Structure 1
């Protein structure tokens, strides 16, 4: 009796110092757990063969956290590789600042030409863009840096909304933890939904968010740039969503006339009070739909929407899917999470 021969997929994580630590560790842990939890297929049961190369910068720590991190493979060795399954380029300050360096650009271009799949995590997109790997592609990156990426590389279709994007063999993700969602999507594409779900469960990730889910978190109760008078208002709005929060009510809360308030809020928050309120209500409804079985009508009422249809239109604008579909996806994931993945066993 002989066992099935299995060749692990070779994956390289490439980064430029200083790199965002979680952009490296997050995807690496997802793939490592997939190898541990996936069914054995022969003498070498690893699904992924992971390597890491960090392009150093003299006097700069390898990671923005200041923690040391070493390459597992040299640049000279990488240049000798003839094939690579997946190239993952991590983000961080180094990616944004050093992507145009000739050594980084040339190494990235060389590796990408030999890879079946190319992945940019967070601002790793800056390195891939500088190397020409993203030309003509629809891509995303961290919401804070989307405008900068589009300005530097006008040939890209930069989409600031989704948490990750696939365009052909190229995948890019939003900021930091979204790289883990993208890595789970890679596992699912390679080995199926059951294994991706098992990895998410093992790492106490409730589920893999779909790429179409929007990067809406930074817009909510972020008080950056708000004056002392307005700084606490988003939090107060979040606690009173069930109330009819008209402009007059909000203005009175901060001691301004409605006209003064509307002008000041837009200048400081970069959006109107009505749009901020819709985002807060959608976020509250989203959390309820994720965690309990309340009817849509009840969720709409508790979150301050005037009707189910009002909530539906707001969800389509803010999240990209209607609330019923959003809740159904979570229910489906919850049912699947109750299923047991087959135990690993080697074929004799």
Structure 2
């Protein structure tokens, strides 16, 4: 293991274990993030940081789509620094295959850190790696994960978790967020930011962030007019988004608008706007050095005191604590 931001002294071997029926989005995205570090380093005239090895039970492993991956048989893998267990749609059944469990257990015992993407958490659970540890997986499987492994501390609304060298992620694309987190620990926040930009993804969504941003929480049946209003809230968090102003834009009375908004989103207009502004502040805290009063003004809070109070209520921590954990200087 390395201190955050300290470049590894030699290439770290990252072993990606691909189970039968794997979901490629999580596996390929994770591999691409680590490979991007190497490509950026080589472009800078520096040596690669990672050696990425893809393995499975056999020399060919079929994904859930039917596409096959060339994989090194896990039985032939000896050295491993970081073990990553990919997820599969049938992870709750796959993890009980004796040979799969045997090979993953052997590799995990040799690794400095163990990572599960999405349903890969079930494999770690079967091997006892989740006992007493915080963990997560795709939201559709959270109840199953909790029922199967009652001693695990299942986090129901997190993108990824970290607990004593064991890392787990939510849905497959959240594996990229976890990969960026590991890159940040190994190579520092600026490299993680460069990788995110090269992959055109969000730079470092924190692990404690909900699997669902406020925009994702909007119900599918929401009308177009309300969708346009919601888009405006996210595009201009500092704008006037009082109930009276939103109602006027929607062509409704304030009372009727508040009722319709809650019926279609499950939240009051005020609560939705507050969460959207906190999410905007989180992005600013993570990716800029702007002072808190400036962020408060830019994100629609007006004053730093209001930012602190609302941020603590929504995120559970203060803006300063968030920045220390996820900011550029973390």
TM-score over 0.5 (shorter chain)? yes
The reply on whether 1:214 has 2:215 as its aligned counterpart is no
1:71 aligns with 2:70: yes
Distance 1:175 1:93 in 2: 11
The counterpart of 1:274, out of the listed 270, 277, 291, is 270
- Are residues 1:10 and 2:13 paired? yes
SS in 2 for 1:113: helix
1:245 aligned residue (242, 245, 261): 242
Distance 1:150-1:251 versus aligned 2 partners, 3 A rule: farther
Aligned residues: 314
Which structure has the higher relative contact order (CA within 8 Å, separation 6+)? 1
Greater shift, 128-137 or 107-116, is seen at 107-116
Structure 1 residue corresponding to 2:311, chosen from 306, 309, 315:
315
- Secondary structure at the counterpart of residue 219 of structure 1: coil
Q: Aligned pair 1:203/2:198, yes or no?
A: yes
Give distance in 2, aligned partners of 1:201 and 1:218.
19
> In 1, Cα distance between the equivalents of 2:143 and 2:244?
30
- Within a 5 Å distance, the mapping from 1:179-194 to structure 2 comes to 179-190=175-186, 192-193=187-188
Q: Secondary structure at the match of 1:171?
A: strand
Residue 53 of structure 1 corresponds to 55
User: 1:177 deviation in Å?
Assistant: 4.1
Per the TM alignment, residue 84 of structure 1 is displaced from its structure 2 partner at its CA by 2.8
Q: Residues 317 and 90 (structure 1 numbering): CA distance in 2 closer, same or farther, change over 3 Å?
A: farther
CA distance in 2, matches of 1:314, 1:61: 48
Aligned to 1:32: 35
Structure 2 portions without partners, runs of 5+: 1-8
Which structure's CA Rg is the greater one?
1
Q: CA deviation at 1:310?
A: 1.8
Which residue is 1:86 aligned to?
82
Query: What's the TM-score once normalised by structure 2's chain length?
Result: 0.72
**TM-score, reference length from structure 1:** 0.69
Q: Is the 8 A contact 1:140 1:159 kept in 2?
A: yes
For residues 11 and 120 of structure 2, the distance between their equivalents in structure 1, rounded to whole angstroms, comes to 24
Partner in structure 1 of residue 136 of structure 2: 140
User: How far does the alpha carbon of each residue in 1:134-159 deviate from its partner, in whole angstroms, 9 at most, with x for none?
Assistant: 12211133455444432443221122
